[in-house]
Amino acid sequence: MKVIELRMTVTSSNDRDAEELRSELKERGIFLVNLMSAPGSGKTTLLSRTITDLSGRAEIGVMEADIASDVDALRIAELGARSIQVHTDGMCHMDAGMTRAGLIEMEGERGIVFLENVGNLICPAEFDTGAHKNVMILSVPEGDDKPLKYPLMFRKSDALVITKTDAAPYFDFDTEAVKRRALALNPEIRIFPVSAKTGEGMEEWESWLLSEWEEWRNA
Amino acid sequence: MKVIELRMTVTSSNDRDAEELRSELKERGIFLVNLMSAPGSGKTTLLSRTITDLSGRAEIGVMEADIASDVDALRIAELGARSIQVHTDGMCHMDAGMTRAGLIEMEGERGIVFLENVGNLICPAEFDTGAHKNVMILSVPEGDDKPLKYPLMFRKSDALVITKTDAAPYFDFDTEAVKRRALALNPEIRIFPVSAKTGEGMEEWESWLLSEWEEWRNA
């Protein structure tokens, strides 16, 4: 497990860098999935369960992006999955240049690579990382008003995974309201309510992931 | 209830602006408390309960800062408290100039004013808003590893309120570990575990607030 210290990429052309990175990754055989969420939404737990469930069906690598610490990368490495940790030097998001710098360290990697972006519902939505798919995670305890408060994140995401659904009886959380609000912002968004604890809903999310990966490979 | 659209203050002197604002507020009799947290940590619920509990003992006003929406300001206004909503034009934090622009709209306000900062554990820690006290909120479902991942926020806060403690039996959350980690980053930080639902711990938090307000008035 590596720890890489990143500095913000000073570039006025992040969108072009992101497009270039997407082509580069196609050649390397890496399908990059950008996971975005607030702190504490359960990104790492969702990833751990997904890696375990898809063992034998997909090669999965993980790039953990954090301001500080390597607790997430250590959790992933314990599963035997290839993981690297990047530190963003205080930056609140990853951009394409930073993502590319991290991926250079994952030599020989193929298959699905998850970028676990910095825990933040705002800034990561503004920067294209070069990922092929953007996935947003919203956990039940955060509340069903989040599409109203962080609309850009919902607009930029291909899929929304609603996590910790097992805690729903404990919180006032209206899943139908979230679906309605998310779809109003982004009619194309796919929505997967899951519990990584009980396994409920995991299959639908994992099937979507595998089919998007296959479609990309055959494109 | 007002909604104000803000643009980022372009200033290289935020720290000086913040100091000036603090003096200005002293003359106006406003004790400004900056509340920072991740999205969905229960800031507005904590505020609602605090306003109700302190009714008759303190005049309380609220400035809600969000990228979009006014759901929080509406909730506060329903309690009969004076509230305004500021929109940050996509910005992920409030700075001193933005805070000042909002406070100008709260003419005649005195007593305690809460600034409910944008839901984000990263950027708000980097900008002095001109507040007299900085309070960070961490909710139990977010997890006990947050001091490791967002150290600056813990360093900059005078108090840490741990919310949703009633949900503790449902989540793996080690309160003692959070206390130890927070105090390692900031030995001066005051820590208040509370449940705004059951009321547990609210009195300690409210007593601290009142005594800090009194100390400031007499300084």
Measure the CA–CA gap between B206 and B50, rounded to whole angstroms: 7
Residues 6+ apart with CB under 8 A from A121: A36, A37, A38, A146, A150, A153, B39, B119, B120
Q: What average pLDDT score do residues B90-103 get? A: 91
Query: Is the per-residue pLDDT at B124 higher than 90?
Result: yes
Question: In the prediction, which pLDDT does A1 show?
Answer: 45
Which residues in chain B have their CB less than 8 angstroms from residue A151's CB? 67-68
Q: Which residues contact B105 (CB under 8 A, 6 or more apart)?
A: B2, B4, B84
Contacts of B167 (CB under 8 A, 6+ apart): A141, A167, A170, A171, B139, B140, B141
Neighbours of B13 (CB within 10 A): 12
Give me the pLDDT at residue A12, please. Answer: 65
Judged against a pLDDT cut of 90, whether residue B19 lies above it is answered with: yes
- Tell me whether residues B68 and A126 touch, CB distance under 8 A: no
Residues B135, B36 contacting (CB under 8 angstroms): yes
Q: Which of A71, A92, A146 sits opposite B39 (nearest CB)?
A: A146
* A184 touching chain B per CB within 8 A: no
Pick from B119, B139, B151: which is nearest to A68 by CB? B151
Which two three-digit tokens encode residue B37? Answer: 């947290």
Residue type, A74: L
Q: Which of B120, B22, B151, B172 is nearest to A122 (CA)?
A: B120
Mean pLDDT of A173-178: 96
How far, CA to CA in Å, does B202 sit from each of A209, B98, B161?
44, 30, 10
Q: CA-CA distance, B49 to B55, in Å (whole number)?
A: 10
For chain B, domains (ranges, CATH) are 13-213 (3.40.50.300)
Chain A interface includes B87 (CB < 8 A): no
Q: Are A164 and A141 in contact (CB under 8 A)?
A: yes
| pLDDT the model gives residue B2 | 57
Phi first, then psi: give them for residue A197, nearest 5 degrees.
-75, -55
Q: How far is CA A62 from CA A2, A112, A196, B25, B121, in A?
A: 11, 8, 18, 48, 23
Contact residues, chain A, for B120 at CB < 8 Å: 92, 120-123
Strand B159-163 with B133-139, pairing: parallel
The average pLDDT across A5-20 equals 74
More reliable by pLDDT, A70 or B210: B210
* C-beta neighbour count of B214 within 10 angstroms: 12
Put simply, whether A143 touches B (Cβ < 8 Å) is yes
> In this predicted structure, what is the pLDDT of residue A88?
87
pLDDT band at residue B70 under the 50/70/90 scheme: confident
CB contact under 8 A, B126 and A66: no
- B121 CB within 8 Å of a chain A CB: yes
**Nearest CB partner across the interface for B39, out of A69, A121, A126:** A121
Query: Cβ contact (<8 Å) for B39 and A151?
Result: no
**8 Å CB contact of B39 and A148:** no
- Contact across the interface for B122 and A126, Cβ inside 8 Å: no
Q: Does B139 touch chain A (CB under 8 A)?
A: yes
Chain A contact for B152, CB < 8 A? yes
Q: What's the CA gap between A86 and B89, in Å, rounded?
A: 29
pLDDT value at residue A5: 63
Task: Give the closest-approach CA distance of B44 to chain A in angstroms.
Answer: 12
Tell if the CB–CB gap between B40 and A141 is shorter than 8 Å.
yes
Q: pTM value?
A: 0.90
Query: For testing the chain A interface, which of B89, B127, B150, B153 should be mutated: the one with the most A CBs within 10 Å?
Result: B150
Provide the pLDDT for residue B94.
Answer: 93
CA angle, residues A61, A35, A94, in degrees to nearest 5: 90
Pairing of strands A2-5, A82-87: parallel
User: What is the residue-averaged pLDDT of chain A?
Assistant: 92
